[in-house]
Structures are given as C-alpha cells and as structure tokens.
Structure 1
Amino acid sequence: MVPENASLDLQDNIVVKEEEEQEHQIQPQIINKTPVHQRRRPLISIERGSSLNEARCLTERKKQELIDAEMRREMELHELKKRKLEKDIEIRDLIIKKIKDGEPLNDLITLMQMGN
C-alpha cells in the first residue's frame, strides 16, 4: 500500500518491493522435463484434488480388474470346452453301445442333429 502523499520515487520503490515480495511468495512449479510424446498416461482419468498415490492405487486396481476379467473369460471358455468334450464322449459311448447291440444308428443321428 502506497501512501498518497509520498513522493513518486518513494511510491515506485514501495510498488517494486511489493511486487518482489509477491514473486517470492509464489511456489516454484515442478517442471516435468520428459517430452510429451514419451510420458505415460494413466489408464483412468485422475480427478482434480486426488493425490498421486490415490491415482496409482486406482490405476493398479483397474489393471487388476482387467486381469481378473480376462481370467474369468478363460475359465468360462475352459468350462465350455470341457462340457463339449463330455458331450462328445457321451455320444461316442452311445454309438459304440448301439453298434455292439446291432441297433440302427438312424435314431442316434437324428438325436445328434437335434442337439446341435
């Protein structure tokens, strides 16, 4: 604050000193020197106000969710293959039994076509 009755030189000195004090109060920003095209982006957006640690936790959690989902898909696929194999074995056993008993396979072929 500059008093109105002060001389112009004094006013200039006070204004300059106030500006210098304000510059010293500003915190220096951390500059990321990594080129923009080489920076890694997080998998999820970081909301304002969240700490870096929270963002890392969210990113790790998202990675784990993706891994878990992939494992579930693989297990479901494995189960489907297992059921199909069991069905194929069952059909094979029926064919062998019918051949041993000397029965015609026409009924079994019709049954297989209905099942598929």
Structure 2
Amino acid sequence: MNKPPAGWYQDPDIPSQQRWWDGSTWTQHKKAMSDGISRSSSIGTSKIVGATNPAASTGLGLGIAAFFLFNIPIFGLLLSLSAAVVSGIGLSKQSSTMAKKYRVFGIVGLILGIVYTLMAFLVVSGIRR
C-alpha cells in the first residue's frame, strides 16, 4: 500500500484541525485548520486506517490450523496455545491506525486458540489414561 508523503493533513479524528503525518504514522503534533486549506489535501481515513497487524493475522491462521490439527497429541496442543498467544499479542498491539478487520482477526484467533487448546488438552489427557 502506498503511503502519502509526510505533511500536514486533516486530522481523521477531529476534522476541524490538522495533524502531522510523518510518512508512516500520525504524530501528536496538531494545529488549527487554516482557511486556505482545501478538503482535497486531507488524507482519507481509508488510506491511513489500514495499516496491517501481522500478529493478529498470524494468530487467526494458527487458530484455523488448530481447528484441523488439534487432535494430534502434543503438536495440536502447542499449535492451539500458539494461536491464543499470538492472537492476544496482536490484540494488544492493535492501534487506531490499523484496519478494524485486524481486531476481528485477533478476537477470532484468540477464541479459536482457547477453544482448541482446551480440546487438545482433552485429547492429550485422554491418551495418557
């Protein structure tokens, strides 16, 4: 995804002011919108609020893999536990500049990870009896 160059743009949170975009993320620097600024110089939130969250995506992928592989002793348990942990990390790193779908990915990955960790634990404990 091509990111806009550094500069002053319309603040996506408060449209009546400008916020400094450093080329990769919003900074805390803000100023009042001057009369000569046109709306065309604003960065649409769809361009900025779209940063990825690799941990949340990976956690979802691990959770889906756990759905299919949880019944393999030990491996399924480790896979499911990894899905829960990585999804949790993804959720903790989720910011307002990231697309909202990554929050959903993290939540679904966390739920799958927890459910299949419990199921994998039952498989492992059932084999030892």
Superposition TM-score, scaled by structure 2 size: 0.30
Relative contact order (C-alpha < 8 Å, sep 6+): which is higher?
Answer: 2
Superposition TM-score, scaled by structure 1 size: 0.33
Give the helix-richer structure, 1 or 2.
1
Structure with larger Rg:
1
Give the strand-richer structure, 1 or 2.
2
